[in-house]
Amino acid sequence: MSRLVVVSNRIAIPNKSKSSAGGLAVGIMDALKNTSGLWFGWSGEISEISGEEEEELDIVEKDGITYATVPLNQNDYDLYYCQFSNAVIWPAFHYRIDLVDFQREAWEGYCRVNDLLARQLQPLIKPDDILWIHDYHLLPFAAALRKIGVTNRIGFFLHIPFPTPEVFNALPTHKELLEMMCEYDLLGFQTETDRNAFVENLDQLTPLEDVAPNTHRAFGHTFKTEVYPISIAPDSIKQMAEGPLPPKIDMMKRELSNAKNIISCERLDYTKGLPERFLAFEALLEHYPQHRGKVRYSQIAPTSRGDVQAYQDLRHQLEMEVGRINGKYGSLNSTPLYYLNQHFDRRLLMKIFRLTDVGLVTPLRDGMNLVAKEYIAAQDPEDPGVLVLSRFTGAANEMTGALIVNPYDRDEVAAALDQALTMGREERISRYNEMMKILRENDIAHWGETYLKDLRALPERGSEKSSTAKAATP
List the catalytic residues: 159, 366
What is the Cβ-side half-sphere exposure of residue 138, based on CA atoms within 13 angstroms? 27
Measured in whole angstroms, the distance separating CA 105 from the mean position of its chain's CA atoms is 27
Supply the angle between the helices 274-287 and 309-329 in degrees, to the nearest 10: 10
> 177 by DSSP, 3-state: which?
helix
Eight-state DSSP code of residue 102: -
Strands (E), 237-284: 260-265
131: closest CA among 456, 449, 463, 443? 456
Burial letters 160-178, b for 16+ CB under 10 A, else e: bbbbbbebbeebebbbebb
Q: How far apart are the first and last CA of the chain?
A: 37
> How far apart, in Å, are the Cα atoms of 176 and each of 236, 252, 303?
42, 53, 33
Q: Please choose, from the candidates 138, 142, 161, the residue with its C-alpha nearest in 3D space to the C-alpha of residue 151.
A: 142
Task: Name the DSSP class of 343.
Answer: -
What Cα–Cα distance (Å) separates residue 222 from each residue in 130, 158, 176, 187, 468? 17, 19, 17, 11, 11
Distance CA 260, CA 343 (A): 23
